[in-house]
Structure 1
């Protein structure tokens, strides 16, 4: 199916899945046309979930016009232009490929899939769809925090010179309590992997985004610290459970790995749900031969910049407040110094997707870029299974994009 370019009419969106990410994406769809001068309006047309009552409650809370419990029926509707996928990873491939084959533009939450093979099939489908004017994008939302985008821009300008080392970490503590109930994120058949895929994917993508380089080889270890957890009241629907009231955790809780970047620099990565006291601590520091830049999601309106070309008596990290109209995305929001928050990245994600659809240009990160991250995740898992041996990241292109 060939899709004609947008011509100023409203783009009708169906979101499949709800919950935490459903709320965040809904904020983005609501805010983008109100705060930004979009070339096309958007309509929050249909929210899809498995249970009629729960999806109806979510739709009323977030502002979706209709609900459905059948995503296949919704994808087949000719009045739906965009499909936004916020389901667990085990359903990403099936839904995204069906939507792309039906001529729908697709936004898919990260990580792109649970396996490299699924991600390759999705990238193939995206490449085929692109030949007919259909666009697709992966939801690596932290790219669209203004300070993170500005960090990328400064590195591209050469302000820190040649990149020599990267330190990236994403630390949370929500699983420290061993009585935290088993959830789908803790089962491999639903989530693909644990901390590695859920939050490690973010720091892999952010490292590649800000440096403009790819991870070529990795060595790493993973650890499951709590191997069995109690079932919640709704836990009977989880697969792979065993024992009286407890189920097996089949993913990692912690991943530590080192990567060699395509430009020659080394990068260290830490993804953990057991960093006691850390709630959502994503940090990245990039060191070059002329300076360094650092970003901390828990201080997301600023960057730390070190300029080693200054005289010795003036050196030291300087805090840049990223709230000026000249900074990425900021002009649509508030006067300088009036801070943005976590949810704004989801609005910026919608802005870039809608502009890409209107202009007929591929927005980033593409499904091919999502596949690249999936291959790094796979290489880390293979390294961990082989006593932290160095593993090359696969680079061959899927059939559809060679």
Structure 2
């Protein structure tokens, strides 16, 4: 597409990055199910391996189907480039990889998906990295947590599981002052509801498994670069500013400018970590993205209706949906997320842990699964599943206490969802 920024979101979600296949005229992006690509000659091969020419070498690095998805997501998020990978968890490691080193730390929100908390508090220690968890609503605490070894601040735009909304602009002001990037996981909001880069984020990560694909078929992840950060402003980010031995001393930021981070993600990250998205997964996700705005509108409408009903039910202690006027995040959500606050939230059931377990076992339309962002409505008791590895204090901080269930509201008839919850609550709380 030419002059892509002039097009609206609904047009870009269908057309960005794609064009009819030059060989066959196929209108839908083909699945290029190939591991390798034939070089024109030896000189062409050498130029590709030296990063002197852009092209396809081997599908661990680049693939035409995946490339279309990368360009589409970068366009929708307002970034200069993107790197797709095998899962959302892979995307988080890919996002940190060019920034971190032994002894470095990331300041992370306490309101993160339980698997992310585990990855940051346990797994990254094996790389010699560490994480400091803070309440990102407490801006003074965020500032105090940043030290000379901090290389990024990490948060979620709409936090999983509680549906809390983050003041991205306020965090970006802090990271700009500290000279470090702000990384925002935009999985729950999607670029349709929130544009973190426009609010000051440096990098955006996604689990494309969720709303972007939207049909519960494939896993995937993506890292999108704003292209706005000066990686050479200090010596903190030597992977991007200093000579790279594997490419004969090439300096990524000096050579590729705004695309330095994206090129590093492919030429170093995918090359050595191998967290590759397969072309079939990219194809499914491309088809999902085509209807993203339509689905997100319905997710938001249904979630507001279900949350309203739950809030007025005597069997419920509280509902965390930021689209409710009673939410402490309501005004922020109206200002920063004017199209809606997604389909994800939690509610606390009177009767505690046992009532929650009974509830999820009694539902008929809702599926009890460890996923979100599907067209189907989903439910899970986080304390006994996704957040099981966390301490009780961490569970409470993440909004996943023992009396809380998380719902991902789908695009079914909202009245049917309410009837299903009503009959299950009767069994759980009877």
Fold match (TM-score > 0.5): no
Q: Considering fraction of residues, name the structure with more strand.
A: 1
TM-score normalised to structure 2 length: 0.26
Q: Considering fraction of residues, name the structure with more helix.
A: 2
Bigger RCO (CA 8 Å, 6+ sep): 1
